Amino acid sequence: MAVPVIAGFLRTPFAKAHRGALKDVRPDDFSAEVVRGLISKNNIVTGDLEDLLLGCAYPEGEQGNNIGRIITYLSGLPNKIPASTTNRLCGSSMQTIHMACGSISMGAGEIFLCGGVESMSRVMRGGFNFTPNPLLSPDTNSPQKYNGNDAYISMGTTAENVAKKYSISREEQEVFAMESHKKAAYAYKKGYFEEELISIETPEGTLIKDECIRENTNLESMKKLKPAFIENGTVTAATSSPLTDGAAFTIICSEDYALKNNMTPIAKITSTAVTGCSPSYMGMGPVEASKKVLKRANIEMNDIGVIELNEAFSSQSLAVINSLNIDTEKVNVDGGALSIGHPLGASGARITGKAAMLMNRLDTQYSLATMCIGGGMGIATILENYN
């Protein structure tokens, strides 16, 4: 059975939605820049590509019409290279990596471009014609309502639910968010982001770094913020991942292909998993997904040296860390989504690529990338150091 590996990772800097540098740039355009950069940087033989697999949480408007295929045209790939667009909400681009791994393992392709995009400036959350099924709507009393679930619950409300159920205080959430910004700011000073970023030309100039990182954030300023979602709640804008625009891509190929074509594998992809959970506590999705993926890899959490846990909210990140008894020193070493940003469809590829790079930099054997997903799901990937 062919062994899938990550052989490249590149992304745009992540920009503030609605007021950042990418607000006036089409998502297919800035995604194509990443694809062209990844191909050039890694000397990919484009004719060998089996497929371009793109994740997107809201594939409508400029992100519609199978945006993955549109990106192949804009990036100059041969017409014979197909593409698809996948939607597993926040887990979409990690799902594309899982799909490529399955194809490689069964001999249905040797090299794939897997990534994701989200313009939260140009495509509204929930879509342009949000039409919830009344049997799943929170204000229906129908006896047919599926297990009492609210499939359309606000993500902010789920963060409040998790904070309450798992006794995560506002102060704990704010400290966690502040540390995310500090770690990301330090990583920038050390040059740790340079290898993963491509600059993007915009109407406002050249975007060269993530826009959401606040180097000087402090607890005093956070304490002044009002609850963002419910009255007397504990979740604020500071402890929620910011609305963000961006794209990220990885090269997923077989180990044999990489070695035959002078490509340097970054990491082996050892196991993958997805799980479901209550949508009202969607932030806890990584717990069962991580247990499942660890079991499949036949390792334990203590064997993991690097953990990229997507920071949708401070409350859910802390609840997951506590539930899995994770050593916080291993988590989001260069900061997470609270500081870097969370363009929904792109985040899975970002944290998977980042986990691979960190594992090499820190010389650890295994890494875990995992995230919660709206609607009540979790997704996880185990990587093994190739060196």
Q: Within 10 A of 219 (CB to CB), how many other CB atoms are there? A: 12
Neighbouring CB atoms inside 10 A of 340's CB total 32
Longest CA–CA separation in the chain, Å = 61
In angstroms, the CA 132 to CA 106 distance is: 38
Q: Is 101 a catalytic residue?
A: no
Distance CA 367, CA 346 (A): 19
Beta strands in the chain, from DSSP E residues, in sequence order: 4-11, 15-16, 51-55, 83-86, 111-119, 200-202, 205-207, 244-254, 267-276, 304-309, 366-373, 377-385
Amino acid at 175: V
Which of 101, 114, 253, 372 is catalytic? The answer is 372
Identify the active-site residue in 56, 90, 101, 277. Answer: 90
- Are the C-beta atoms of residues 367 and 269 closer than 8 Å to each other? no
To the query of whether residue 212 is one of the catalytic residues in this protein, the response is no
Q: Measured between alpha carbons, how far is 222 from 238 in angstroms, rounded to an integer?
A: 6
Catalytic residue, chosen from 56, 98, 253, 342, is 342
Q: Do strands 377-385 and 366-373 pair parallel, antiparallel, or not at all (unpaired)? A: antiparallel
Q: Strand runs (DSSP E) across 51-127, as ranges?
A: 51-55, 83-86, 111-119
* Token reading at 314: 């401070």
Report which secondary-structure segment, H or E, holds 322. helix 314-324
| Residue 296 and residue 386 in contact, taking contact as beta carbons nearer than 8 Å | no
Residue with tokens 């990338």: 369
Alpha helices in 138-212 (DSSP H): 155-165, 170-190
In the chain, how many H helices and how many E strands? Answer: 11, 12
- If one counts every other C-beta atom within 10 angstroms of the C-beta of residue 169, the result is 12
Tokens of 373: 């997903």
Distance CA 324, CA 225 (A): 30
Q: Which residues are tagged catalytic? A: 90, 342, 372
